[in-house]
């Protein structure tokens, strides 16, 4: 029997496998699942008599390529291959050889899915590389999904936001095909796409009762009014991700109206387009309304700002739970975080200046009583302050990811001692994170030593004369 062409998935792992091996595997799986299969393996017909639901169960455990091979065994298995249950989820991978190292879903398979299984599809995602062709191919597929009813749709740019390169009208018309036809869309991830206000209106008009998750970070064509329309109409919305410029007092009030279900997650990305950008503020009363309406909601904030752009943030209480500082953040702002973020659960600081964050951390430990995870990158903390911080937080610190360079040994603790001390307070073994030293065998003189050595004339000479 000839092999099905065009099933490219996972080929490096299993393409070399021949059907008999698959059979063996199927047998093994079956027995694993303790399904009573008659042990007589004498005739093929025994296999054909395997009840469909068992076959389905087994097939669900096989990757597509193995299923394709198995489908060549007999007619029954071939029928099983096409059962709708096996086609509810599909991930289209659209890559071009010129822009990606990964294989793409074979065009023949895509054709087959559109022809035979598009009405079965419910959970669909598109992974698209950095090329515009791939993004356009995704739009082409989307616009052919006329007779399907999707529950989940994800458009994922795996390298660069390539959907932004597609002509907006092309993208919008493809997306609205899904919006109009699906009617019961519940999850939508369309980050970094040219989606706009009118298309969100179409979404709302058709899916307002079912929409529960909407991720649309960095969609420049959406306005605050556009997202407000979604919040006003989709009362079942539980998870929302957007950029700070779309966040408004009105939006928060809409999300906390009586008709609205409790929000579970709100993710806000604060990205500066150009240095010195001015950001608006959100009223404390709006946040208060949110917390009253959805007391358990997670507010996740990602900051990618220059240090001097933090002015409008953290001056009043914010119900933020997860806080990520992707660029340098000043000591002062972290001090304000310690005062105004009582719900803080998780904190990541990628970088800070060269002054130790001792008081700030202690303050955070004191005021943020929910804090259970912290990550520090290019920062400095003295070992004793860090131990104090860990002691104050104690065992609730379930994640503690600290670069080794962050910890500055002092009179109380050396680097070798600190992991014992911290482990003791955490009640589990803990080590700082390390980066490979990559063959550096240079004794450079540390800051402190330099400071010390400046008092000894002549001592730094060696360090300062690089070999000509």
Residues within window 217-256 making contact with another protein, judged by CB under 8 A:
217-218, 238-241
Closer by beta carbon to another protein, 114 or else 156: 156
Cβ of residue 159: shortest distance to another protein, in angstroms?
A: 4
Query: Does 40 sit near another protein (CB under 8 A)?
Result: no
Of 37-45, 167-175, 213-221, 385-393, which part binds another protein (CB under 8 A)? 213-221
Q: Is 416 helix (H, G, I), strand (E, B) or coil?
A: helix
**CA distance linking residue 394 with residue 424, whole number of Å:** 9
Q: Is 327 in the site for another protein (CB under 8 A)?
A: yes
Residue 166: Cβ within 10 Å count: 22
The residue among 448, 354, 450 whose CA lies nearest residue 463 is 450
Q: Is 461 in the site for another protein (CB under 8 A)?
A: no
Does the footprint of another protein cover residue 348 (CB under 8 A)?
yes
Select the residue interacting with another protein from 212, 245, 336, 363 (CB under 8 A). Answer: 212
Binding mask 439-458 for another protein (x = CB under 8 A): xxxxxxxxxxxx--------
User: According to the binding rule CB under 8 A, does residue 14 interact with another protein?
Assistant: yes
Which stretch in 201-209, 312-320, 332-340, 370-378 sits in contact with another protein by CB under 8 A? 370-378
The correct pick among 278, 354, 458, 461 for binding another protein (CB under 8 A) is 354
CB of residue 150 to another protein, shortest distance in Å: 11
Minimal distance, residue 125 CB to another protein, in Å: 4
Interface pick for another protein out of 267, 336, 340, 363 (rule CB under 8 A): 267
Q: Is 261 in the site for another protein (CB under 8 A)?
A: no
Per CB under 8 A, the segment of 140-148, 206-214, 219-227, 286-294 that binds another protein is 206-214
Count of CB atoms situated within 10 Å of the CB of 263:
21
Residue with Cβ nearer another protein (348 or 393): 348
Choose which of 335, 339, 353, 392 interacts with another protein (CB under 8 A): 353
Residue 243 parent element (H or E): strand 239-243
Stretch that binds another protein, among 72-80, 310-318, 332-340, 373-381 (CB under 8 A): 373-381
Please answer whether residues 209 and 236 qualify as being in contact, where contact means their C-beta atoms are separated by less than 8 angstroms: yes
Using alpha carbons only, give the angle 308, 282, 218 rounded to the nearest 5 degrees: 70
113 near another protein, judged by CB under 8 A: no
* Binding residue count for another protein, defined by CB under 8 A: 121
Per CB under 8 A, the list member of 161, 220, 224, 335 interacting with another protein is 161
**SS3 of 317-380:** CCCCCEEEEEEECCHHHHHHHHHHCCCCCEEEEEECCCCCCHHHHHHHHHHCCCCCEEEEEECC
The residues, ordered by sequence, that sit 6+ positions from 301 with a Cβ below 8 Å of its Cβ are: 267, 268, 269, 270, 320, 322, 323, 324
Greatest alpha-carbon pair distance for the chain in Å reads 93
Residue 436 in the binding site for another protein (CB under 8 A)? yes
Let me know if 323 is exposed, middle or buried by CB neighbors in 10 A (0-12, 13-18, 19+).
Answer: buried
If one asks whether residue 34 binds another protein (CB under 8 A), the answer comes out as no
In Å, what is the CA distance from 259 to each residue of 209, 262, 294, 295?
A: 12, 10, 12, 16
CA 26 to chain centre: 34
SS3 166: coil
Q: Which two tokens stand for residue 372?
A: 């259970």
For residue 182, the minimal CB distance to another protein (Å) is 13
Query: In the stretch 51-90, what mask flags binding to another protein with x, by CB under 8 A?
Result: ------x--xxxxx--------------------xx-xxx
Question: CA nearest 340: which of 311, 370, 368?
Answer: 368
Q: 331, exposed or middle or buried, with CB in 10 Å at 0-12, 13-18, 19+?
A: middle
Nearest distance, CB of residue 146 and another protein, angstroms: 22
The strand ranges marked E within 120-160 are 123-128, 152-157
Q: Closer to another protein at the Cβ: 29 or 143?
A: 29
CB nearer another protein, residue 169 or residue 458 = 458
Residue of 160, 201, 235, 331 that binds another protein (CB under 8 A): 160
CA distance 278 to 270: 11
* Window 87-106: contact mask with another protein (x via CB under 8 A): -xxxx-x-x--xxxxx----
In angstroms, give the least distance from the CB of 355 to another protein: 11
Interacting positions 403-422 with another protein (CB under 8 A): 403-405, 409, 414-416
């Amino acid at each position: 029997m000839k092999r099905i062409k065009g099933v490219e998935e996972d080929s490096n792992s299993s393409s070399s496998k021949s059907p008999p091996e698959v059979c063996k595997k199927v047998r093994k799986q079956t027995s694993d699942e303790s399904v009573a299969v008659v042990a007589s393996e004498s005739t093929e017909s025994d296999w054909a008599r395997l009840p469909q639901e068992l076959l389905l169960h087994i097939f669900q455990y096989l990757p597509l390529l193995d299923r394709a091979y198995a489908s060549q065994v007999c007619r029954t298995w071939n029928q099983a291959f096409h059962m709708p249950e096996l086609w509810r989820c599909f991930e289209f991978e659209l890559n071009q050889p010129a822009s990606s190292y990964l294989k793409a879903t074979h065009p023949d398979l895509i054709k087959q899915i559109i022809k035979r299984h598009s009405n079965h599809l419910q959970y669909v995602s598109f992974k698209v590389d950095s090329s515009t062709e791939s993004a356009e191919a995704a739009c082409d597929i989307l616009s052919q999904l006329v007779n399907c009813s999707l529950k989940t749709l994800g458009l994922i740019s795996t390298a660069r936001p390539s959907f932004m390169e597609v002509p907006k009208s092309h993208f919008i018309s493809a997306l609205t095909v899904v919006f109009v036809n699906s009617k019961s869309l519940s999850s939508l991830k369309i980050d970094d796409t040219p989606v706009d206000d009118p298309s969100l209106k179409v979404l709302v008009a058709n899916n307002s009762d079912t929409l529960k998750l909407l991720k649309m970070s960095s969609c420049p064509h959406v306005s605050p009014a556009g997202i407000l329309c979604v919040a006003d109409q989709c009362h079942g919305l539980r998870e929302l991700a957007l950029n700070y410029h779309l966040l408004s007092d009105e939006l928060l009030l809409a999300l906390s109206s009586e008709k609205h279900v409790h929000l579970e997650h709100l993710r806000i990305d604060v990205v500066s387009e150009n240095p010195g950008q001015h950001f608006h503020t959100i009223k404390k009363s709006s946040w208060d309304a949110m917390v009253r309406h959805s007391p358990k909601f997670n507010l996740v904030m990602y900051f990618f700002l220059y240090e001097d752009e933090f002015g409008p943030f953290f001056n009043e209480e914010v119900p933020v739970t997860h806080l990520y500082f992707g660029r340098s953040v000043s000591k002062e702002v972290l001090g304000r975080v310690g005062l105004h973020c009582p719900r803080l659960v998780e904190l990541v600081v990628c970088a800070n200046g060269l002054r130790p964050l001792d008081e700030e951390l202690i303050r955070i430990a004191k005021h943020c009583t929910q804090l259970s995870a912290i990550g520090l990158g290019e920062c400095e903390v003295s070992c004793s302050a860090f131990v104090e911080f860990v002691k104050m937080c104690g065992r609730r610190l379930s994640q503690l990811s600290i670069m080794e360079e962050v910890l500055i040994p002092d009179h109380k603790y050396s680097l070798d001692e600190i992991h014992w001390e911290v482990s003791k307070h955490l009640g589990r073994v803990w080590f700082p994170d390390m980066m490979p030293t990559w063959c550096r065998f240079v004794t450079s003189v540390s800051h402190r030593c330099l400071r010390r050595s400046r008092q000894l004339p002549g001592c730094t000479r060696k360090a300062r004369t690089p070999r000509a």
